[in-house]
Structure 1
Amino acid sequence: MQGASAEQGTSRRKKGKEGELLAENFLQSKGLRIAARNFRCPLGEIDLVGWDGNTIVFIEVKSRYSRNFGLPQEAVSLSKQKRLTRLGQWYIKQNRLQGRPARFDVVAVDWHRGVPELTWIVNAFEACE
């Protein structure tokens, strides 16, 4: 039983990485410059960090393979928004980007029909504490 669970976890991670790659390619095709992928720090991880002109963009990628639990973007809860805000603040401080405009975007990857449908939500939420 434990092997099946580990296998599902590996499959989920692989699909998640595939969703992140699709999102990255999509965003680049829309003109965003990607600065970092899977940026890790002591507070957690940001899926993608990019630039839209002079604006730094922190991007959360959410993939769903079924609609049983709602749309992918609905998984970016208030607690997740707070964590992403702290991660963004940490990134800005570490990279000496204070004073630059910043925003939080979400890319939802919906696989429920077997073919990925991407939805880019610009400025999906405001920074929160």
Structure 2
Amino acid sequence: MTIAQSKGQAAELDALNYLQRQGLSLIDQNYRCRYGEIDLIMKDGQTLVFIEVRKRQSAKFGGAIASVAYTKQQKLILTAQHFLTTLKKMPVCRFDVIGYEGSALQPVWIKDAFQLAS
């Protein structure tokens, strides 16, 4: 495991703990399929939330939140659609992004960061 992977896993664990303190409950972690991976899948009330966690050392190239660009969003959407095929009932869903910049301990949480294009 590289240092970056180790820091990424630590950020995911921090995000999980933070979101649980905010009242969300964990459904799945590091869900993988042929389309990609979703860091956290959680429930916020009746809403199923697909969460991408990003950690960046600096905001020099746009920062953690901005690093979830269109291409990554499309992979997350395809992966989420794959996950949804395993469910009997289609829940209300949203895509959130949790970002950590530098040594900041408090994450930036963007709810409903992007949506399916209609």
Structure 1 length-normalised TM: 0.85
Tell me which moved more, 66-75 or 14-23. 66-75
SS at structure 2 position matched to 1:66:
coil
Structure 2 length-normalised TM: 0.93
In structure 1, the partner of 2:99 is: 108
Query: Higher helix fraction: Structure 1 or Structure 2?
Result: 1
- For residues 76-108 of structure 1, give each alpha carbon's deviation from its aligned partner in whole angstroms, at most 9, with x where no partner exists: 11111111111111101123342x100000001
Letter in 2 for 1:72: A
Please list, as runs of the form range in 1=range in 2, the aligned pairs for 1:39-50 lying within 5 A after superposition.
Answer: 39-50=31-42
In structure 2, the partner of 1:80 is: 72
1:71 to 51, 63, 80: 63
Greater Cα radius of gyration, structure 1 or 2: 1
Which consecutive segments of 4 or more residues in structure 1 shift more than 4 A? none
Give the gaps of 5 or more residues in structure 2: none
Q: How many residues align?
A: 118
Please list, as runs of the form range in 1=range in 2, the aligned pairs for 1:91-106 lying within 5 A after superposition.
Answer: 91-98=83-90, 100-106=91-97
Q: RMSD value over aligned CA atoms?
A: 1.5
Please list, as runs of the form range in 1=range in 2, the aligned pairs for 1:15-26 lying within 5 A after superposition.
Answer: 15-26=7-18
Identity of aligned residues (%): 37
